[in-house]
Structure 1
Amino acid sequence: MPGRARRVRFAAWAALAGVVSAGVFLAVAEVAALLVARQSSPILAVGSFVIDVVPQPLKEFAITAFGENDKPVLLAGLCLAVIVASAIAGLLQLWRPPLGIIALGIAGALSVAAIVTRAGATPLAWVPPVLGTIAGAVVLGVTVARLRRWAHATTTHDDSDSGRLDRRVFLQVLTIAGASALIAGVGARVANVATTSIAAVRRALRLPEPRSRVDVPAGAELDVPGISPLYTPNADFYRVDTALTVPSVDPATWRLTVDGLVDRKIELTFDELVEMGLDEYSITLTCVSNEVGGELLGTAKWLGVPVRDILALAGPQGDADMVLSHSIDGFTASTPVEALTDPDRDAILAVAMNGEPLPLEHGFPVRMVVPGLYGYVSATKWLTRLQVTTFAADEAYWTPRGYSAEAPIKFSSRLDTPRTGQPVAAGRVPLAGVAWAQTVGIERVEVRIDGGEWQAATLSAPVNDDTWVQWMLEWDATPGTYNVTVRAVNRDGDLQIEDRAPIAPDGSTGWQRTLVRVT
C-alpha cells in the first residue's frame, strides 16, 4: 500500500477511535447519571449552557427559523460538533500523544463546569462527567496505542504475530467499546427519561372542581374556515423556553418558596396551593419573540390561584417593586409587584390548562400566567420560587441579554385567512383573524385593501379584556393581486402602532400587510 494511502487509512481509524471514545465517555456518564444524579447528562448540560450564552441575534434567528424545533436542531448541532471534535482528538492522539487524551480531559472539565453550575445541581452532579472522562480516556489511550503499533508494523513490513495481535486487539476493543457505548448510553438515557417521567403522575392527578368557571358568551367564536380557534388546543399552543429537555417535577415533592423582601418566608406544597381554591380564567399569552403576523401566542382556559393571595401570606415589604420568579431549570423572570397584586388583574399560578393538568412542556405542575405582560417577564414554567425584591437589586434571565426588565404587551392584530401563497377564488371571500389587547380589550379592527378606505370588521363577542377576539370582513374579490392590511384600536382609543420595530428589546410593532392573490 502506498505511503499516502496508508497514512489516510490509519488517520481514519484514529478518528473513528476518537468518536468511539467520546461515545464511551457519554455512555458511562449517562449510566452514572441514572445511578447518582439524573440531571447530570453532559450533552444536555452543555446544550443548556449554549442556550444561556448564545448571543441574542442568534436566539432570535433560531426561534424565527426553527420555531419549536430549535432545541432538536441545537442537539443535532451539538452531536455533530462532538463527532468532529472527538475525531480530531483521535488524530491528535495518533500524531501527538497524549494531546488527544488531554483534549478529552478538557472536554470533561467543561462538562463538569456546565453541570455543577446549573440550577438544582446535586452534590454528586460532578460524578457522571468525571467517570465518563476517565472511561473515554482509557479507551482512547488503549485503542490508539494499539493502532500506532499496528501502523508501525505495517510501515516496517513486520508480519509477525505481534503486528497481527495489535490489529486484532484494536479492532476488537473498538467494536466492543462502540457497541457497548451505543447500547448502554441509549439504554441509560431511555431509562432515565422513563423513570423520571412524570407523565403517569400527571395522568392520575385529579384536581378539585373550580369555584368559578369562565362565562363564554354567545358569538365568542366566529364560524370562518382558517381562523384561529377561540381556545388554542394544548398540542398546538406555542412553546418558547430555555429548557433543553422538559423538567420532570413531581407534585408530591414540589415546593414553592416565597422569600426576599417579605415579612415572613413561606413554603407551600402542591396540595396546600390547590386547597387555597381554584378558579378558571381565560387568558391570551404572547411571546416577546412574536413577529408581526406571527403565531407565538395562544389562548387557553387556566385553573389557578391568584398570585396576590399567595404574596399576601408572605407580606411584601413597602420598598419591593419586583418579584423574581424562578424555574427549576434556572430561568428567572422579573414581574412588577404591582402587576401581581393588582385586584383588577388576574395574575395566577396555574395548575391546569384547557380542562387538564398542565402539559409537561407547559410547566407542570405549576406555572405563572400574567395577563398583559410578555411571557419572558411573567410566564415562568416549572415554578419553584417567588423572590420579592427590587429592579435595582436583581435582574432576570433575559435582561442582561438585551431585553427590557419590564415588558407590557403591545396590542396587535393578525390576518389568519387567506394566507400568503394560498390563492383564493373570486367572489365572496372572508378576511378573518384575531386581535388582542390584554387587560384593555379590543374596540375595533379595521382592514384596508390596497389603497382603499379602511373598513370596520365584525368582531366576535369578547370573553373578557384578557382574551383575544376574532374578526371577519367579507370581501367581494375580483381576480388580481391585492395588499391586505389590518390594524386594531383598543378600548382606550389607542391605534395600533404602524411603524415596524423588532422584537428586542420589548416586543415587535407594525401593521400586518399580506399579499392576497385572487384567481
Structure 2
Amino acid sequence: MKQRNGELGRRALASSGGLVAGYAALAVAELVSVAVRPEASPVTAVGGAVIDRTPAAVKDWAIRQFGTDDKLVLQLGILGVLAVLAGVLGLLGLRYRRSASAGVLLFGVAGAVAATGRPDTVGAVDAVPSLVGAVAGAGVLYVLLARLPVGAGGGTGQGAGRKTEGSEPEREPESAEPERSSEPERSSGSGPGRRGFLMAAGAVTAVSTGAGLWGRRLNASASVDAEASRAAVALPAPDSPAPRLPRGVDLKLPGLTPYRTPTRDFYRVDTALTVPRLDAGRWRLRIHGKGVRNPLTLDFDALLRRRLIERDATMTCVSNEVGGPYVGSARWLGVPLAEVLREAGVRPPSQGGRADQLVARSVDGMTLGTPVETVMDGRDAMLVVGMNGEPLPFEHGFPVRMLVPGLYGYVSACKWLQDLELTTFAAYDTYWVERKWARKAPIKTESRIDTPRPFASLKAGSVTVAGVAWAQHKGIERVEVRVDDGGWHEAELAAQGPVDTWRQWMWRWPAKPGTHTLQVRATDRTGATQTSARARPIPDGASGHHSVVVTVT
C-alpha cells in the first residue's frame, strides 16, 4: 500500500510539474508579446485561429448561449485544454522526459503557426512569443522532472529502470538517460526529494507570476497611452446637427427599451479577443483600389477638419435572433463617407463606376464588404468618430469605424478601420462571406416585445404590452399584436424619429386568467409586413414573429 501511495504521489507531482511548465510558458510568452504586440500572445493567437476556423453555425450557437461573454468562454476553454494537456505531458515525463519536453515545444510551434496565420499578422515576428514561451516551458518541465523523487520501481526518466519480481532491473539502452542514483533523499516518494521538487516548482511559479504580471503591466502602459490619446480628443461641433427629435419619440414605459441606448449598454459582437487600443495620433486611413482616380490617406486630425454630420441611427447585428438583444440606437458623429469616396474619384456602378464593392479592413484583420451603390445612394453612411456625444469607446472602434444605416453590421460597420479598398464582389470575398454568409444583407423588418417578459406572472385586467420595431432606412408604419393566434390588434406607435432608427410601440391588453402567447409583427413604410416564417441568422439575418408566453391570474 505504501509503495502504491508513493507511486500515486509521484504521478501527482509529475502532472503538477506539467502544469507549472505550461504556466511558465504562457507567462514568458505574455512578457515577450509586449515587445511584439499583445495580439501575438499564444492564447489570443490560438483563440483567434479557433474563431477563424469555427463553422458559422457554431459561432451562432456560441453567441446565443453566451452572448457577449462568448470570448471569455473561449479563452477559458483554451486555458482548460492547455492545462489538461500540460498535465498529461507531465505524466508522460515520468518515463519519457525528453519526449514530454519536446511536446511542450510542439505546442509552441502550434501557437506560432496560429499567430502567423491570422489575417492581422505582421509577419514572422508574431511567432516569437509562442516559440520563446515554449522553450522556457520545455526547459522548466525537463528540470522539474529531473527533481522528482525516485519511486520504489527504480526512478524516473527516459526509460527509467524497470524491474519485475524475481529478476534484475532491465538495462537501459545507451541512448536513454542514465538511471537516477539511489541517493537517500530520493529513495521514496516522500521526504527531502519531494520537498526539493515542490521548492523548485514553487520558485518557478513565483517567477512566472512575476513575469506575467510584468508583461500585463507593460501592456497596460501602452493602453494608458491609447487612453490618453482618446481623452485628448475634442470632437468639433457638427456642421449638420442631428434633427431635433419629436415629442413622444420615447414612451418611457417601465421595462421598455429606451429610444437611445446608453453607450455602456450598447451591444458588442466581433471576433477580437483583445480589443485594439489605438493611438489616434498614429492612425491612418487609406482609400484606394479599382476606379479610384485620387487615392487618399487621411489622419485623424484631417478627418476631424472635414464636414461632420450628426445622426441618430439604429444598428443591428446579423447574429441577432428573433427578439434578441443585439440591436441598439445611438447618436453618431462622423464624416459623410460618400463625400470622401467622391473626392477619391469613385463613382457608383449606376454612374459608370468600375467597383461595386467597398472592402473595409480593420487593424485586427477583419474585412467587411459593402455595396458601393448603397453607400452612395444618399443615406447617411459615415466614417464615425463620436458616439452619444463622446469619442468612440475602444470597444466600439476608436478612433474610427464605419456605419451604413439599413445594412447588418457584418457588411457595413467595420470597427478600428484602417483601409478602404474599391473592388468587385466577383473579385473578392470578405471574412464572413468566405464563411457562407450573404454578400449583401439589408436589415429585415423586425419587432420585439420588451414587456411583459417571457414567463411573467400577471394579474388579470389591463396589461401594457410594449416593445420596439425597426426597419432602418425604410421606417415603421404599423405594429400589431395578437394573443393565442387570434386576430391582430394594431398597437399605438411612438412618434416617428429619423427613418434610420427604431420605433417604440404599446398595446393595452385586457388580460384574462390563463396561460397566453403574445406575438408581434411590424409593417414598414414600403408596405412590407415581416414574415412569420422562422429563419436562423445564417446567412442573411433571422426572421419570424417574436412571441412571449405569460401567465395571468
Range of TM-score over shorter length: over 0.9
SS at match of 1:268: strand
**Equivalent position of 1:85 in the other structure:** 85
Letter in 2 for 1:339: T
1:277 alignment partner, one of 307, 312, 315: 307
**Equivalent position of 2:440 in the other structure:** 406
- Show CA shifts across 1:319-341 (max 9, x none): 21001111111111111011111
**Equivalent position of 1:126 in the other structure:** 127
Q: For residues 432 and 36 of structure 2, what CA distance do their matches in structure 1 show? A: 32
Q: Report 1:106-121 matches (<5 A).
A: 106-118=106-118, 119-121=120-122
**Equivalent position of 2:210 in the other structure:** 183
**Equivalent position of 1:513 in the other structure:** 547
**Equivalent position of 2:411 in the other structure:** 377
> Does 1:316 find its partner at 2:346?
yes
**Equivalent position of 1:239 in the other structure:** 268
Deviation at 1:456, TM superposition (A): 1.1
CA contact under 8 A between 1:39 and 1:121: conserved in structure 2? no
Letter in 1 for 2:234: R
Mean Cα deviation higher: 503-512 or 148-157: 148-157
CA contact under 8 A between 1:24 and 1:178: conserved in structure 2? yes
**Equivalent position of 1:230 in the other structure:** 259
Q: For residues 405 and 30 of structure 1, what CA distance do their matches in structure 2 show? A: 38
Q: For residues 256 and 466 of structure 1, what CA distance do their matches in structure 2 show? A: 26
Q: For residues 466 and 503 of structure 1, what CA distance do their matches in structure 2 show? A: 21
SS at match of 2:431: coil
Letter in 1 for 2:184: S
Deviation at 1:507, TM superposition (A): 0.6
**Equivalent position of 2:8 in the other structure:** 8
Mean Cα deviation higher: 475-484 or 409-418: 475-484
**Equivalent position of 1:211 in the other structure:** 239
For the structure 1 residues 84 and 153, does the alpha-carbon distance in structure 2 shift closer, same or farther, using more than 3 Å as the test?
closer
> Does 1:200 find its partner at 2:228?
yes
> Does 1:297 find its partner at 2:327?
yes
Letter in 2 for 1:26: L
Letter in 2 for 1:229: P
Mean Cα deviation higher: 318-327 or 472-481: 472-481
Q: For residues 319 and 50 of structure 1, what CA distance do their matches in structure 2 show? A: 36
- Show CA shifts across 1:411-452 (max 9, x none): 111111111122222222111111111111111111112243
CA contact under 8 A between 1:373 and 1:407: conserved in structure 2? yes
SS at match of 1:95: coil
Letter in 2 for 1:173: A
Q: For residues 124 and 255 of structure 2, what CA distance do their matches in structure 1 show? A: 52
Q: For residues 312 and 489 of structure 2, what CA distance do their matches in structure 1 show? A: 29
Deviation at 1:157, TM superposition (A): 11
Deviation at 1:174, TM superposition (A): 1.1
1:331 alignment partner, one of 363, 366, 370: 366
- Show CA shifts across 1:287-331 (max 9, x none): 111111111100000001111112122223622100111111111
Q: For residues 57 and 74 of structure 1, what CA distance do their matches in structure 2 show? A: 16
Letter in 2 for 1:219: G
SS at match of 1:228: coil
Letter in 1 for 2:49: F
**Equivalent position of 1:392 in the other structure:** 426
**Equivalent position of 2:174 in the other structure:** none
Deviation at 1:211, TM superposition (A): 1.4
SS at match of 2:487: coil
- Structure 2: tracts of 5 or more residues without a match: 162-179, 348-352
The structure whose Rg is larger is: 2
**Equivalent position of 1:57 in the other structure:** 57
How high is the sequence identity, in percent, across the aligned residues? 45
SS at match of 1:185: helix
CA contact under 8 A between 1:258 and 1:265: conserved in structure 2? yes
Letter in 2 for 1:160: P
> Does 1:97 find its partner at 2:97?
yes
**Equivalent position of 2:457 in the other structure:** 423
- Show CA shifts across 1:237-262 (max 9, x none): 11100001111111100111111112
> Does 1:481 find its partner at 2:515?
yes
Deviation at 1:153, TM superposition (A): 5.9
Q: For residues 462 and 186 of structure 2, what CA distance do their matches in structure 1 show? A: 86
1:263 alignment partner, one of 293, 307, 310: 293
Q: For residues 39 and 267 of structure 2, what CA distance do their matches in structure 1 show? A: 25
Mean Cα deviation higher: 58-67 or 442-451: 442-451
Q: For residues 203 and 103 of structure 2, what CA distance do their matches in structure 1 show? A: 23
Letter in 1 for 2:306: M
SS at match of 1:516: strand
1:346 alignment partner, one of 334, 357, 380: 380
SS at match of 1:272: helix
Q: For residues 122 and 306 of structure 1, what CA distance do their matches in structure 2 show? A: 34
CA contact under 8 A between 1:153 and 1:159: conserved in structure 2? no
CA contact under 8 A between 1:37 and 1:128: conserved in structure 2? no
CA contact under 8 A between 2:468 and 2:502: conserved in structure 1? yes
Letter in 1 for 2:326: L
RMSD: 2.0
Mean Cα deviation higher: 133-142 or 419-428: 419-428
- Show CA shifts across 1:330-385 (max 9, x none): 11111101111112x11111111111111111111111111111111111111111
CA contact under 8 A between 1:150 and 1:166: conserved in structure 2? no
1:254 alignment partner, one of 283, 307, 325: 283
Deviation at 1:167, TM superposition (A): 4.4
**Equivalent position of 2:168 in the other structure:** none
Q: For residues 496 and 11 of structure 2, what CA distance do their matches in structure 1 show? A: 68
CA contact under 8 A between 1:27 and 1:182: conserved in structure 2? yes
- Show CA shifts across 1:138-160 (max 9, x none): 11111112226577469999452
CA contact under 8 A between 1:94 and 1:148: conserved in structure 2? no
Letter in 2 for 1:76: L
TM-score, normalisation: structure 1? 0.95
- Show CA shifts across 1:215-249 (max 9, x none): 21111111321111000111111110000111111
